[in-house]
Amino acid sequence: GQQLNQSPQSMFIQEGEDVSMNCTSSSIFNTWLWYKQDPGEGPVLLIALYKAGELTSNGRLTAQFGITRKDSFLNISASIPSDVGIYFCAGQDSGANSKLTFGKGITLSVRP
């Protein structure tokens, strides 16, 4: 089946630093999404990308839809303590169904 690969499993950064995460797939997706999960909560949608090459920002977050349609990147600039959490990428193909495939997530820690 389809799989999304996120690595490393954990990242540790200093407050104020920028951080970049990527997500790769062996198959093509037509929509890429990035979610963040806080402890004890459900994943929350951060950014959705619909076109290959698209670059979208949401505050300090910027995400890009890779031109091969097999990868996506999320950048967080000037990190703050509340950026701590698990970041998931997800992809949707163009089939008749609407389900998402999720990566395993990257746990981000921010040191004050």
User: Does residue 105 interact with another protein by CB under 8 A?
Assistant: yes
Q: Could you tell me the two tokens for 14?
A: 């200093």
Contact positions with another protein (CB under 8 A) in 43-72: 43-45, 48, 50
Instruction: Tell me the one-letter amino acid at 79.
Output: S
Cα–Cα distance measured from residue 2 to residue 78, given in angstroms and rounded to the nearest whole number:
33
Instruction: Tell me the one-letter amino acid at 28.
Output: I
From the list 18-26, 55-63, 68-76, 98-106, the region that binds another protein by CB under 8 A is 98-106
Q: How far is the CA of 88 from the CAs of 69, 70, 101, in angstroms?
A: 17, 15, 10
Residue 61 Cβ, how far from another protein at the closest point, in Å?
A: 16
Which C-beta is closer to another protein: that of 47 or that of 79?
47
Interface pick for another protein out of 8, 42, 59, 112 (rule CB under 8 A)? 42
Residue 112 Cβ, how far from another protein at the closest point, in Å?
A: 26
Residue 89 Cβ, how far from another protein at the closest point, in Å?
A: 11
The vertex-11 CA angle with 7 and 14, nearest 5°, equals 150
Q: Are 35 and 20 in contact (CB under 8 A)?
A: no
